[in-house]
Structure 1
Amino acid sequence: MGAGETRQESMRVLVADDEPRILDLFTEILAPTDDILGGLDGLGGVGPAGDQTFELTLCRQGEEAVEAFRVAARENRPYAVAFIDVRMPPGRGGLAAAEEIRAIDPGVQIVVVTAFTDVDPLTIARRVPPIDKLLYIQKPFHPQEILQFATSLCAKWRAERDFKGLKGRLETLVYERTAALAAANRKLTREIDERERVTQLIESAKREWEGIFDSVQDLVVVIDRDHTVRRLNLAMAHRLGLTPRDVVGRPCAFVFDDEGKPGEISDAVLTMTDGRYHSKELSVPRLRGEFLITASPLTHADDAPLATVFVAHDVTERKNLERRLLQSQKMEAIGTLAGGIAHDFNNILGIIMGFAEMIEGEAAPDTPLSRRVGHILSASRRARDLVLQILSFSRQNDEQANRLHVGPLVKETLKLIRATVPIAVEIRDVIRPGRDAVLAEPSQIQQIIMNLCGNAAHAMRETGGLLEVGLEELPAAACPLPAESGPSQCLHLWVRDTGPGIPADIIERVFDPFFTTKKPGEGTGMGLSVAHGVVRKYKGEIKVKNVAGGGALFDVYLPLAPDAAGGGDAPAAALADPARGRARVLLVDDEQALAEIGRELLESLGYKATALTDSRQALALLRERPGEFDLLITDQNMPGLAGAELAKAALAARPDLPVLMLTGFSETMSPEAARAIGIRELLLKPVLRRDLAAAIEAALAGKK
């Protein structure tokens, strides 16, 4: 009877997964009760093909699966295939179950199915040998994959079972032929028929395994003993951009080495062809990625070496995640360091700026002393802004974005840059007429300009050249802004140099954190990364390219700010002198110098000031004489009793007492948290005399 006239036997398949929906999915795929999947897009015809049917056993735990195999062994009703999930809490898991199942039934085909696992395929293969009866598939999977695996593996299992039976029968025939020569012709005929049938089964299984081999997404190549390509799968051929026929017979270097760099990678690969199992991570530019390459020896039946099978698993994404994690850890370390420095540094600046402002107030105008103190205050303000920039970058603080005209900022920044670049570098600004207002922080836009210009100047430090910084308004159609910005006109800022340009093999990496081509001590690799982060924060775009004739060009595109109400930007109001007050102020700061300068500053503003360095003593004074003070000014970070706790206790004793808080840096105190306590305003040290006077005046007037 022909193969098309008989119904194939129902094959036993076991599925072990702790998720009921996965078990239901396997049931719908392999043993559907109706055609419920037939009408879904992409799932038509998922049910068992032809006459093949499956008898399913569903298990929720690995222990259930092991027990099912024990029962099957006792009843002599073996399973052909077992689909086992790796993790099935709260049990021991799929790998332990697979090991016991393999011990019970060495012939079963095991498919390890999982969404994620910290056990790599090599470990799975070592724990659940042999490899030819073990497959690995990762969720999510397509139903057709499961059906294909079940059908082909059952066919393979059936072929192996039949082959074993045939082998036994053939041995019996040979034995009987010596005792019964009369039946030799009939037995020989049956043997030939059986051999033909087995050959057909083997060829069919071979074709199915070839299909499975080519469906593996890892890159697989078989290297002969003479170091030439014996075979490769479609994934490897596609990565090379060729057909398998174009690669077979080529040397190993053709697969792993870039053109013109023979032996760069292939030498390391060929060290794994010594007949042992190997695993090594390699970056392979020819295959455009980083790979975990495993080598497995392929031998003849007599264990004579035949070839080596290399499987390259792409770990590029994993390595990128590891690099991003390392970057995150570095940034966390920078943030911790910056926070620790900021508090003490701002306190020091507060002392310098406070006494400098007092000297400035006492110095006669237009005198050398007045001019020198002005320079001290200007440098101190720059130091204060630098601390804010470090904190902003390391902590990713959300600063208030204000309307900012970039043209004047560019000119001001170029004045600073001119003092730092080599004299052989000419600086030219090209600021074209048009709108130049964006919503941003001046310090961060200045950071972009200084980082880009510093990079350009470094490229021309030996040869000299031209550094051009330009600014222009662009229509919306010419603005390559990100989608989240929406259609908008933009401000185009560019920085161009006439240096050697950026090598093509690294131009895509120049914005990566900590990537630098500078020598140790010349740079950290953070400049362009910081610029990129600031631009993206303001929903802009930054691009880089090499310029014909030499040099590099950085283009920055930022959305223009909406026109100000009233048709333009109002001129800045002239700053008035601080108002003089008559209130009684209690100042608390654990730094003796800051308490002293604070008291003198308050007295210079006309206030009656009492300065204390012990917050607990200040609280006792407030409780003893609550009506003696009109205002409390307290530092936040103080030993014994922090400023926030002092403010709470003071307001409990006298709810109408205005409170101002000063801090050099605090991760725990924000303006919102301060207002929630009842504090009128949180001021960041160092505080200028004018800013302190305005805050006191507002607090005493009852303004929040």
Structure 2
Amino acid sequence: MNRESSTSIQRQLQLFFVLTLGFTVLVMGGVWIGHNQVLLEREAERVLIVEGDIIGAAARPAMMFNDQRMAAELLQSMQFDPDIAMVKLFTYDGLSLFTYAAEDDTAVRADPVHFQKLQSTLFSDGRLRLYRVVKHKGEAVGVIYLESRLNHLKESQRTGYITVLMVMFGCLLVGLMLAARLQKRIAVPITSLAGLMRQMGYDRDYSLRAGSPTYNRETEELLIGFNQMADEIENSFRTIKENHRDLQEGEVRFRNVVALAPMPVLISRQCDGEVLFFNAAAAQLFGFEGSSGEGVKAVDFYRDPDDRQQLLRTLKQEGKVIGKEIEVVGCDGTPLWISLSMSQITFESEPALFSAFMDITDQKSIEKRLEEQVSERTSELEKTRDELQSTLDNMLDTYYRLSSDGTVVWASSSVYSLLGYAQEEVAGLPLQALWVDSCGFAHSVTAISENGGVLMNHKIQLKHRDGRLIWSSISAHLIIDQQGEVIGIEGVVRDISLQVEAETQKQEMEKKMAHVQRLESLGVLAGGIAHDFNNILAGIMGNAELAEMNMKEHLPADKELENIVASSIRAADLCRQMLAYSGQGSLVKKPVNLSTLVEETVQLIDVSISKDVSLTFDLQTQLPIILADNTQMQQIVMNLITNASEAIGDKKGGKIQVVTGSLHADRAALDSPFLEEKRPPGEYVFLEVSDNGCGMDEATLSRMFDPFFTTKFTGRGLGMSAMLGIVRSHGGALQVESAPEQGARFRVLFPVSSAAVNDEHMADAKAEELKLSERALTVLVIDDEVMVRAIFEKMLRKMGCEVLLACDGEEGLQVYSEHRDRVDAVLLDMTMPRMGGKEVLVRLREMGIKAPVIVCSGYSNENVMPQFEQVQPEAFLQKPFSLQSLHTVLRQSLVDITGSGP
């Protein structure tokens, strides 16, 4: 701060302003020169291009006919610009037709001119070189080479340099004038203020104030701020004097207040403990005589002198001592207990300790008597605990107690027979170490919280010390303190391994029974589907032969082809049914006509029904629509008819009647002992199956919908419990009437849907424009089946598309690589030799394909799409497919190209 600055603020302002202005002018001049140079070069290039176009227009006939003489005659008469150093004409084949070189320019003949077919512009060596292609009716006929000396450009540059230098000199001169002006308006008031501050510091005269004239707001505010600061300093010194006087008066009042306070107060010197002040209460407690406290030290009152050192250490660390209980003695040696509070103060201008305390001698006597009583009560509790421990140790169940973090606090001695641990070994173990499933422990804690802090007979698995797994039943409740906080868990554990083993054996038997039932169900379904498939194939083959004969005889075959398409759609439906039944298809609710569904389903199971059974139908034709899943509805029909047939057995004259209809059902008609849910009254469609078989008694009726229950030999039954689940998921109701030897009647009701019938055949038959786009789209088909590729090709050509074919994944990648700019969409089969569809899609994405990829498969979308983990296709097409479904998928995928939505 004492170092003097070598440069005044005046010089610094002048130097900074001039340097800044000079640098700015230099930068602006450089930018202007560079910008002017670019503009001049562009103007020279534009002039030379115009000159080249004029020459090209004049010499176009000579270039078209490759005639040098004509080129010379046409151009020798032209007056070229003085800047042009050379003009050279070439045919588009590279033949030189004409050359012009300025006579006063020797540099132009130094380097030969090379022919090139591309238009270009080049600035180098202070010259501009230009190639221009001459075209006639869009076809190139020749090339013109022009070279300019840029004399006009150089003259303009010299003029620009002179102008910039003059402007820069003028700006610097103006800057010096402004710097001199700033010196007066900024530096002079600041210099005056600095001298005033120096005088105030030397003379300690805080009444001095700044009054110099100012020329700007900032300097004025600086002077005003200095005057305000001087006022504050002067006021501060005045306040300090007043505070010192008030402090002296406050000390007198403090002595008076403390002297009359009922609480004992003592002030001692911090260094040696000499008592400086004490009030009447302290004198009475310690036995001071009168007011003579001179020569008395506080350390003399401590029974243990180390207590004072401990208090001083605590005071140094924490800044104060509050409620410290210590034992002291009075002046006559009488022992006392006090509760001491201490802090550091300044008393009579020196560090001191302020001590305030209370006499707690009587309180300590009471606490001693309470401790004796607690000791006696503890002894009684220990005796009771020993008795309780003996009871717990003789229990078969294991009693336990856990801390709030799941650590075992204590367990009864039977824990050894349960887990192989002694009591002292299990204490301190985390419960997760004994629990097989850590998630199961978390679930148990959650269950306790959700059941009001109590858990009863919760099944868990624990680990025995030798590694065995033990099934146990645990009961527990929370231990809560007076503040409502959970501090632990206690309860009992029972070994139920034998019970669980018995239940496991029972479940295994039930699984085997379910497997046998599933196999039988599949056999019944497969027989019906095989029968129906043979009928469908017979129709397809017969209509195909008829169509072939009609075409040979030049007769129309439209009817036969329509029959083939209809039969193919029915076969595809059968495939979807088989996939859904085997778990490979999706279950989707859609509008269903129950009468039509019954007719189709009966064809599947007709072969499995005894020929001695009479199967009659009363199906309402105009039946309202329900929203249901076809496959699940078929399973209900199959289960009811098959079970009715089994109930009849070998009985002669057996009859099964199937009835469908609609009704307005009230609550009485919808009540069922087999369903807990109450269905709302309204319009319902019903399916009723009745037989004159053996019937069921009350016991059988009460258990007929239990899982795996059957009255037949092992393996019979088609899943009545599954049928009940289907009825429940569709919001339906179920009624059963039966008696021994009087047959049975099952009625299933489903709510009517407001959805309209979605007749796919009518939608397919609608006339619709098949063309996808105004331009011809290119589709790449990758499939290993020759017939499928042929169908794809013919259908796509009907839509106006160009088709590229590949027989497997590797060939598909090669075809795409060759025609990637043309391909608008890719139809990709899933299963192919050499490389499957999944790998092909990954490779196509790595090649940067932008076109949509549509995966085709005989499996459903729900089974195919999860196989694509890294990349996903844009769409899915299930085989077999129709022309309409292929058109719809392509239109949806190519919406960005075709410009139309689906």
TM-score scaled to structure 1, two decimals?
0.48
Structure of larger gyration radius: 2
Q: Which has the higher contact order (CA 8 A, sep 6+)?
A: 1
